[in-house]
Amino acid sequence: MFGEVPGLPYLPELPARGVGADMVGRTAALLVDLPVEVQPSGWRLSDRPGRDHRRAVDHLRRDLDGLEELGHDYAGPLKVQVCGPWTLAGSIELKFGDKMLSDAGAVRDLTASLAQGVAEHCAEIRRRLPGVSEIVLQLDEPGLPGVLAGTVPTASGFGRLAAVEEWRVEDSLGSFESPVIHCCAPGVPFALLRRAGVRGVSVDAAMLRRRDDDRLGELFEAGATLFMGVVPGTDTRLAGPGVVAKPALELWRRLGFAPDRLASQVVLTPACGLAGASPAYARAALAACHKAAQVLRDDPREG
C-alpha cells in the first residue's frame, strides 16, 4: 500500500482469512456494547463477546500491528474503510427476530455504536502512526440501494423489508465525519449523498450511465470527490495509463468542467476492491491506477 499508492495508502482488508475477516465481521469488531456471533444464517447480536467476536478483533489487531510496523515513519493522509450502518443493519440479525434493519430503534443504536467504534479506531491509528495528517473514512454501502428500494430480504428469505426513507439515511451519515461512501451496486443515490454532505462517492465506472451525469455534476459542484473504479478487481491483462484514465476523461468532458479541476476531484481506483485478486495482480492494479492518475494531472485534455 505504501509503495504503490504513496499519496493515499490505506489499511487493507483480507476477507479470505475467514470468519471475522469478512466485511461485516471485521466492522462488527468495532461496535461498542453490541457483541456479535456467527449463526448458520450469518452474523447475529449476542449477549456477550464470544469466540467469533474475539477472532474478528484479533484479525484487526494483527492488521494494525502490521500497519504500524510498515508505516511508523509515514507522513500524510491514510484511508480506512468499514462497512456502513445500512449494509451492516441489513446483514446482522437481532437476538430473537429479524435483521436489525427491520427495527428503526435498533438501527439508531447500531449507528451510534458504529460511530463511536470508528472514532476509537481512528484514534488508535493516529496513536500508532503519529505522522498521519488526515484519516479518510470510507463507509462501504453496497446494500444501500436495496435498503432504499425495499428489496433487502427478511431473515427467513421469504419476504422483503420495508424501504427506508431517504431522510433517515441522510441523518445517519451525519454521525460520521465527512465520509466517502462506496457503493458498487446499481442505483447509487447520488442526490441523497450530496444532500448528506459526504466528502466523496466511490463507484464502479462500469455502473455509471449517462443519466447519472446531472447528479454527478451536482456532486462535483458541491466540492465532492469521485473515487472511480476503472481497473478490474480480479486478475486480468491491464491496459495502459491512457486507456485506464479514459472513463474519467470522457465523463469530465461531458460535464464541461474546467480541465484543471479533474485531478483534484477524481481518484482512480480498482473496481470494488481487490479481495479476489492475487497479491501480484493487486500490486500491479494499484500501480496502474497510480500511473493513470498522472494522465489526469499532466494533460486532462489528452486520453
**DSSP string of the chain, one letter each residue:** -TTT-TTS-B----GGG-TTTSHHHHHHTT-SS--EEEETTEEEE-SS--HHHHHHHHHHHHHHHHHHHHHTT--EEEEEEEE-HHHHHTTPBPTTSSBGGG-HHHHHHHHHHHHHHHHHHHHHHHHH-TTEEEEEEEEE-TTHHHHHHT-PBPTTSSSBPPPPPHHHHHHHHTTSSSPEEE--SS---HHHHHHTT-SEEEEEGGG--GGGHHHHHHHHHTT-EEEEEEE-SSS-PPPPHHHHHHHHHHHHHHHT--GGGHHHHEEEEETT-STTS-HHHHHHHHHHHHHHHHHHHH-TT--
Q: Residue 299 — pLDDT band, cuts 50, 70, 90?
A: low
Per-residue confidence (pLDDT) for residue 302, from 0 to 100: 47
pLDDT higher than 90, residue 298: no
State pTM to two decimals.
Answer: 0.95
State the average pLDDT over residues 158-181.
Answer: 96
Q: Residue 97 — pLDDT band, cuts 50, 70, 90?
A: confident
pLDDT higher than 60, residue 119: yes
122-159 pLDDT per residue, tens: 999 999 999 999 999 999 999 999 999 999 999 988 99
2-35 pLDDT per residue, tens: 888 888 999 999 999 999 999 999 999 999 999 9
48-82 pLDDT per residue, tens: 999 999 999 999 999 999 999 999 999 999 999 99
